[in-house]
Structure 1
Amino acid sequence: MRLVHAADLHLDSPLRGLSRLGDTELAGTLRSATRRACENLVDAVVDHRADALVLAGDVYDGDWKDYATGAFFVRQLARLHDEGIPVFLINGNHDAESEITRSLRLPPNTHRLSVDAPETKVLDDAGLAVHGQGFARRAVVENLVPAYPDRIPGLVNVGMLHTSVQGDDRHDTYAPCRPEDLSGCGYEYFALGHVHEQREVCGGAHPAWFSGNLQGRHPQERGAKGALLVDVEPGGRAQVDPLVLDVARWELVEIDIAGYSGADEVFEAVAGELRERCAAAAPRAVVAQVTLTGAGPAAAELTDVAKVRTELELIAEQSGAVLEKVRLRARPPAEALAVDPELVAAVSASATGLAEDPERVRELAGPLDREVGRRLREAGLLDLRDDERLAALARTAEQQLLARMAGTERR
């Protein structure tokens, strides 16, 4: 039995961070990336001669009402229908509030499992039993797994669940359960959705996996994305392999400037990292964020934000990437600060005071927020009402000022 497990397609989800890329060919590619990744998924199911596709929730993206999105998805399912490949899907938290989910008719090969109680779909000819329950509403906070049906002997039993799994505080809590709840069902495989990172939750004879999402949608969803290819037989141990299906890739390059004597060496380190990321992602486009951090003598040459960004944009272009964002968090080594130590202490104290006083920072940012705040938010550049972001800006300003002071003192 060969299965493909995917989840969290979030078709036509508005990708964040594209405003910085302007009206470029890459921006256009990213806007259609979730659809192209879905097409890649269907191609992979056919090419690998899979016996079934299981989709563990969040095909759509919340209350998105564009029926062209649903029509696109139905056409992809119809491709699998023509190939004689069944599809099993459950509603995730986003699908539960989607008008498209409730309105569109699915092809005969597609089986949507119940949202009222755990349900089993059996394909006797294929020797497959699929157990699962979808979300009737967005906020499902109870553990659904204890009510899941028993394993059917002699068949490949696959469980499906959209869940955060207890203990994962990086994601909203939906249908929480314990890893031992999943393995306790005794299924040959448990297909999970909701967490956008591909990872194993349970190993051994009864594995459970998050497939992750098909396509990174913003800079925090970095690295390769796709689905899982699962080979398994009744009572056997599943073989799970990744399928890389993304169209474009977000990458974060972090360089610690310690040990580099000047900006040129730092830039060369960035170039090396970007070349490696582009080679690994090829032929996909790479959208990169670059963070320069740590303490070192090169900090004094990295204080001009516009100049550093221009240099890094050229380096990214030469490496085959597009630069989306630059963060300058580098600082001079303590011994480089030969200026008045009381002045250094005063700068640091002021920055700390601002970072720990959100009301004061909001007050200072207020005039700018009233003038351009909405445009900054709509462009995805900066939220002047975000206390955490403003505190980070205060820390960045401290580091850049100290670096300038150190550079001035050396000259």
Structure 2
Amino acid sequence: MFRFLHAADVHLDSPLVGLDRYESAPVDAVRSATRRAFENLVGLAIDEEVAFVLLVGDLYDGDWKDYRTGLFFVEQMAKLREAQIPVFVVAGNHDAASQLTKNLRPPDNVHFFSTKKPETRFVEAFDVAVHGQGYATRGITADLAAAYPAADGSMFHVGLLHTSLDGRPGHAPYAPTLSQLLAQKGYQYWALGHVHKREVVSQDPWIVFPGNLQGRHARETGPKGCTLVTVENGAVKQVEERPVDVLRWAVTRIDAEGASSTGEVLDRVAHAIASEADRSDGRALAVRVEVCGPVACHDEIASDPDRWTQEVRALAAGVGSTDVWIEKVRFATERPTDLAQLAARDDAIGSLIRDIASAAGDPAEIEALRASLVDIRGVLPRELLDGEDTVDPHSPETLARMVVEARELLLARIIRQGSVS
């Protein structure tokens, strides 16, 4: 019986461009999270006395800013060498050979697979064959797995592959292949990488995406970590998810419908944040808060969103022992009013509702909005365009949401400045 660890998409020292623009952001803690999670991975490997560790692509986020990233990796690998644990690595799209201009020789327990063709290495003490091929360039569109050798003999076979398989939402279609082709190779376990959400694609044979090691923004929520595999009598006996993240991301959506006051809305938000903190298992927590629904106090919130954003941020201080950072607050509440009735009015409110409804249904108006956003993006500094939550002028959903938000903001301001019933 033996165990091994399967991890992928570490993205060591991912720069997280624009993080310092976020109010009260724990910049150092967030930027060091990938290192601390990797340290946890190494510690877990040693504690579990694993036979080997697999790192399946995107160990690095791209070319190193300086040699400190490489030195950190070498130091961690030296700990595994001392514990006599070999490490097998394939390059992915972010750390493809063509992307890296700096390099340091790793300890002799670490093997980087060839980027030219599939290669096989053996862990003879456990009768294991490990197969893999890294990326020579970032945009691999060929089916690398097709050239992997078929299983031969009675050994336990593991395949390392950084791939999108037959496509996964939000991920570029690199090294595409089919799970059926992987199964035909006769391997007992396929260690995949590239997809940042954990997924067990198949259990016969085992085909697993472990997800990324550490969430880096609000699209990478929930537990993050690696997979611990137990092998007995030449077959996979157990596959376990093992979180190693140090900062957990969450998006909490609060339905404010029926709340009678801003105080009640805040109470609901506080309860939602506390629930997320309970699920973080004592880890630091980064929360994006979205408040929605028709609510009587909508105009009060919409007319001064900055004040209510700060009220939400203040709630984090009362969570308790968990370190909570409110990454962003978005209010998408609505007036509990029949828009058809408002549109029928013979005043500024009615005119506004009719004009916005007309614009929302006019392809020429939507195209003009899109063109304006493209022009604005064209003059903004690059660092303001690289965040994970930037406005996409080519997204119909984004444009539709902006029209609704503009309507609600204008209504709130008009109502605040005059008595409108």
TM superposition score normalised by structure 2: 0.87
AA at the equivalent of 1:256: D
AA at the equivalent of 1:215: Q
Partner of 2:228: 229
AA at the equivalent of 1:253: T
Please state how far the C-alpha of 1:265 moved relative to its aligned partner. 2.4
Q: How many residues align?
A: 407
Partner of 1:129: 129
**Kept after mapping to 1: 8 A contact 2:159/2:190:** yes
The within-5 A match list for 1:202-221 is: 202-203=202-203, 205-221=204-220
**Kept after mapping to 1: 8 A contact 2:360/2:366:** no
Partner of 2:139: 139
Please state how far the C-alpha of 1:392 moved relative to its aligned partner. 3.8
Worse overlay, 51-60 or 144-153 = 144-153
Please state how far the C-alpha of 1:379 moved relative to its aligned partner. 9.2
Identity %, equivalent residues? 38
Please state how far the C-alpha of 1:124 moved relative to its aligned partner. 1.4
Cα distance in 2 between the residues matched to 1:135 and 1:384? 31
Partner of 1:326: 329
AA at the equivalent of 1:201: V
Deviations 1:240-282, CA, capped at 9 Å, x for gaps: 1111111112211112223333332222221111111112214
Cα distance in 1 between the residues matched to 2:37 and 2:373? 44
Deviations 1:99-137, CA, capped at 9 Å, x for gaps: 658732121111222212211111211221111111111
Please state how far the C-alpha of 1:387 moved relative to its aligned partner. 4.8
Equivalent position to 2:357, from 345, 348, 352: 348
Please state how far the C-alpha of 1:22 moved relative to its aligned partner. 4.9
Are residues 69 and 375 of structure 1, via their aligned partners in 2, closer, same or farther at CA, if it must alter by over 3 Å? closer
AA at the equivalent of 1:285: A
Please state how far the C-alpha of 1:385 moved relative to its aligned partner. 8.0
Partner of 2:402: 393
Are residues 297 and 153 of structure 1, via their aligned partners in 2, closer, same or farther at CA, if it must alter by over 3 Å? farther
AA at the equivalent of 2:298: A
Partner of 2:44: 44
Cα distance in 1 between the residues matched to 2:54 and 2:382? 41
Cα distance in 1 between the residues matched to 2:66 and 2:343? 62
Worse overlay, 54-63 or 395-404 = 395-404
Confirm or deny that 1:258 pairs with 2:265: no
AA at the equivalent of 1:7: A
Confirm or deny that 1:173 pairs with 2:192: no
Partner of 1:374: 381
Could you say what secondary structure the match of 1:393 adopts? helix
TM superposition score normalised by structure 1: 0.89
The within-5 A match list for 1:5-404 is: 5-16=6-17, 18-22=19-23, 26-97=26-97, 100=100, 103-203=103-203, 205-303=204-302, 304-319=304-319, 320-335=323-338, 338-341=341-344, 343=350, 344-351=353-360, 353=362, 357-360=366-369, 362-363=371-372, 373-374=380-381, 377=384, 380=387, 386-388=393-395, 392-402=401-411
**Kept after mapping to 1: 8 A contact 2:273/2:316:** yes
Could you say what secondary structure the match of 1:329 adopts? strand
Are residues 383 and 237 of structure 1, via their aligned partners in 2, closer, same or farther at CA, if it must alter by over 3 Å? closer
Cα distance in 2 between the residues matched to 1:380 and 1:116? 34
Are residues 169 and 219 of structure 1, via their aligned partners in 2, closer, same or farther at CA, if it must alter by over 3 Å? closer
**Kept after mapping to 2: 8 A contact 1:19/1:379:** no
Are residues 181 and 369 of structure 1, via their aligned partners in 2, closer, same or farther at CA, if it must alter by over 3 Å? closer
Could you say what secondary structure the match of 1:297 adopts? coil
Unpaired segments ≥5 residues, structure 1: none
Could you say what secondary structure the match of 2:174 adopts? coil
Unpaired segments ≥5 residues, structure 2: none
**Kept after mapping to 2: 8 A contact 1:214/1:246:** yes
Cα distance in 2 between the residues matched to 1:377 and 1:50? 43
Aligned CA RMSD, in angstroms, stands at: 2.9
Are residues 254 and 385 of structure 1, via their aligned partners in 2, closer, same or farther at CA, if it must alter by over 3 Å? closer
Are residues 392 and 356 of structure 1, via their aligned partners in 2, closer, same or farther at CA, if it must alter by over 3 Å? farther
Cα distance in 2 between the residues matched to 1:183 and 1:312? 50
Please state how far the C-alpha of 1:286 moved relative to its aligned partner. 1.1
AA at the equivalent of 1:5: H
